[in-house]
Structure 1
Amino acid sequence: MKLAFVTDPLAGFKIYKDSTYAMMAEAARRGHEIHVFRHKDMAFEGGRVVANVSRVTLTGDDDDWFRQDAPAASGLTAFDAVLERTDPPFNMEYIYATYLLELAQKQGARIFNKPEAIRSFNEKLAIAQFPQFIAPTLVTSDAARIKAFHAEHRDIILKPLDGMGGIGIFRVKGDAMNLGSIIETLTGNGSATIMVQRYIPEITAGDKRILLIGGEVVPYCLARIPQGTEIRGNLAVGGRGEAREISARDREIGESLAPVLLQRGLLLVGLDAIGDYMTELNVTSPTCFQEIRQQTGFDVAAMFVDALERHAARWNG
C-alpha cells in the first residue's frame, strides 16, 4: 500500500517513544510505501485537494533515521490510506485542515481518522455523549454554576476544552482557595467554556490510556502516574508511564465504545480513564504505542497496521 502520513516535522520526532514512528516502521517492515506531508502543504486547486507530498525511507539508524525525497504535488486519492497524525493544539488551522481532508475524502481519498469525526469529537467534551461512564461533570462558562458545583462536590478539577498534555488543569479543594481567580483565568471572565469534574482520588494510581483500534480494545493500557506534588499524570509534565493489563471496568468501557466509535469513522482512539471513570476521548493523534510494547511485548503498532490494512480496502468516503 501507499500510505501518506499527515505529521509534524519528522526532524522533531523522538523515535524511541513516538507512536507515529512506530506505525511507519511497522508499515515499512511489511513493504508499504511511506509518504508524508503537513497541513500547510495542502491546497484546493483545480477542483481537487492536492498536497506537496514527500516519500520517506526509514534508515534503521536511531540518530539519522529517515531520508526524505523532494516534495511533489499529488492528489490524495493516489494513496491507499491517509493518516492524520498531527498533534494538537486543535485550533482553527487544524479545523481548516479537516475541511480540506473531508473534501479529499468526498473525492475518494481514504482518511483515517475520518476528518469530520475528528472535528466532531472535542477530546474533552466528547465524553458527555457517554454519561454512564463519567464522573460528575459540568461544562459551562458561568462562574455561578461552577461555584455551585464546587459547593456540592468540594474537591474539583477545572480544565480548558482545548488543552493538551495537562496544560491549564487546576484542582480546587474544599477551602475554595483561588477558585474565583481560576474561574476568571480559564473562562476569560466568562467568555470561554471550560470543563469541571469531581476530583477522582484514584488519579494517584494513574491516568490510564486505553487504546481502541479498529473497534477492538488493546489488552494493555499505560497508566500515567503523577509524581511528587503534581496532580497531573501526563507524560509531558513528568508523569511516570506504567503499562499494565486493563481492568474489567476499563474493558467494559472500551468494549462498549469501540464499535460505536469505529462506526463513526474513528479507527484509532485513546480513551483516558481514572479509576472507574472515563475522562477524555483522544482522536487527533493518540499515543503510548511504544511504552506499551517496551514494557509488555504487545505490539500495538502491528495491531494498528493490521486494522488499517483491513479497513483501507473497504472504507467508504
Structure 2
Amino acid sequence: MKLLFVADPLDHFKTYKDTTYAMMREAASRGHKLAACEPRHLSWRSGGRVTALARDILLTGQVGDAGTPWYVADEPAVVALADVDAVLMRKDPPFDGEYFYATHLLEQAEREGARVINTPRSLRDHPEKLAVMEFPQFVTPTLVTRDAEDIRRFHAEHREIILKPLDGMGGMGIFRVGPDGLNLGSITETLNAHGERTVMVQRFIPEIVAGDKRVLIIDGEPVPFVLARIPQGSEIRGNLAAGGKGVAQPLNERDREIAREIGRVLSPRGLLLIGLDIIGDRVTEINVTSPTCFQEIEQQTGFDVAKVFVDALERRLQASP
C-alpha cells in the first residue's frame, strides 16, 4: 500500500519521540510505501481532482532531533489523493482557518474515492476542547462562554478554576485562578479579548499532581498503557511541551471504562485514533487531530502502540470498498 502523510514539515520532526514517525516506521517495516506533504501542498482545480505536491520518502533508520537526516526524498510530484491507498491527516493543532480549509479539500478527495484517516468531517465535528461536552458524565463542571460575568459566576460557585482558550495546544494559555479570584478579570480579558473570543472554564481538578493522563483509543479500543504527564515544580500544566514529566502506567479500570464508552461512540464516526486527556477520573480534552505519546509508551513499557495502530489501519482499509 502507499500511504500519504499530511503533516508538519518533516525536517521539524523530533524522531526520537514523534508519533507520526513511529507510524511511518511501522508501516515501512511492513513494506508499505510512504509519501509526505504539508497542508499547504493540497490543491483543487475546477473540474479536476484534489491533488498534493508530495514527495515519496524512504526512512534511513537514523533517529535524532530536528535536522538529523532520518529520511531521503524524491523530487516533489503531483499526486491525486484518490490514487493512494490512504491519506493520514497528521497536522498538529492549532485548528485554525487553514486547517479548516484543508479538511474541506480532504473531504472532496473522499468523494473522489480517497480514504482519509481520521476523516475530515470527524476532525471538524470534534474540536478537541469542545468534544468533551458530549460526555458530561465524564467531565468536571465546565463552562464555554465569551461572557465575563458568566465566568465570574462560575468562579464564585466552584472557587478554584482553570481557564483556557479553545484553540490552544501544548498547555499554552492555561490559567489557574484560586478562591481569592486574584487576576480573574485580567485573565478573562486576555483570553476572551473583551468578549470577542470564546473561553473554556473548568473546575480545578487537584488530582493533576498525579498527572494528566494521555489515554489512546485505537479503533474503539483503549491501549493498555497510558502516559501520565506530571507537572514539575510550581507548574499546574502536565503537558510535555510545558515541561511535564511523562511516566507510562497501566490503564486502570475506571479509565478503561471511560475510554471504551467514548470509543464506542466516536470510533464509528471516522475516528480511528483518539487521545483522551484524563485528570483523576475526569476527561478534560478529546484529541483527534494528531494524538501523540506512542513512542514514550513503547520506550517505557515495550508495548508497541504503532504496531496496534497500523494493524487497525490495515483492517480498516481492507474493509473499505
Q: Which among 148, 168, 173 is matched to residue 168 of structure 1?
A: 173
Question: In structure 1, what is the equivalent of residue 92 of structure 2?
Answer: 87
Amino acid at match of 1:134: V
Name segments (4+ residues, structure 1) moved above 6 Å: none
> Alpha carbons of 1:263 and 1:177: their partners in 2 closer, same or farther (altered >3 Å)?
same
C-alpha separation between the residues in 2 aligned to 1:168 and 1:60? Answer: 37
Deviations 1:148-191 (A, max 9, x none): 11001100000000000000000000000000111111000011
Structure 1 segments unaligned to the other structure (5+ residues): none
Question: In structure 1, what is the equivalent of residue 50 of structure 2?
Answer: 49
C-alpha separation between the residues in 2 aligned to 1:219 and 1:85? Answer: 23
Question: In structure 2, what is the equivalent of residue 297 of structure 1?
Answer: 302
C-alpha separation between the residues in 2 aligned to 1:259 and 1:315? Answer: 20
Amino acid at match of 1:7: A
Question: In structure 2, what is the equivalent of residue 31 of structure 1?
Answer: 31
User: Aligned with 1:313: secondary structure?
Assistant: helix
Deviations 1:63-87 (A, max 9, x none): 3210011111111111111000011
- Displacement, 1:259? 2.3
- Displacement, 1:120? 1.1
Normalising to structure 2: TM-score of the pair?
Answer: 0.97
User: How many residue pairs align between the two structures?
Assistant: 316
User: Aligned with 2:52: secondary structure?
Assistant: strand
C-alpha separation between the residues in 2 aligned to 1:65 and 1:160? Answer: 35
Question: In structure 2, what is the equivalent of residue 225 of structure 1?
Answer: 230
C-alpha separation between the residues in 2 aligned to 1:315 and 1:178? Answer: 53
C-alpha separation between the residues in 1 aligned to 2:83 and 2:264? Answer: 28
Deviations 1:276-308 (A, max 9, x none): 100000000000000000000000000000000
C-alpha separation between the residues in 2 aligned to 1:142 and 1:8? Answer: 35
Structure 2 segments unaligned to the other structure (5+ residues): none
Q: Which among 121, 133, 138 is matched to residue 133 of structure 1?
A: 138
- Displacement, 1:261? 1.1
Percent pairwise identity: 61
C-alpha separation between the residues in 2 aligned to 1:64 and 1:150? Answer: 50
Q: Which among 105, 118, 127 is matched to residue 113 of structure 1?
A: 118
C-alpha separation between the residues in 2 aligned to 1:172 and 1:210? Answer: 27
Question: In structure 2, what is the equivalent of residue 240 of structure 1?
Answer: 245
Question: In structure 1, what is the equivalent of residue 6 of structure 2?
Answer: 6
Normalising to structure 1: TM-score of the pair?
Answer: 0.98
Deviations 1:255-286 (A, max 9, x none): 10112211110000111100010000000000
Q: Which among 276, 282, 289 is matched to residue 281 of structure 2?
A: 276
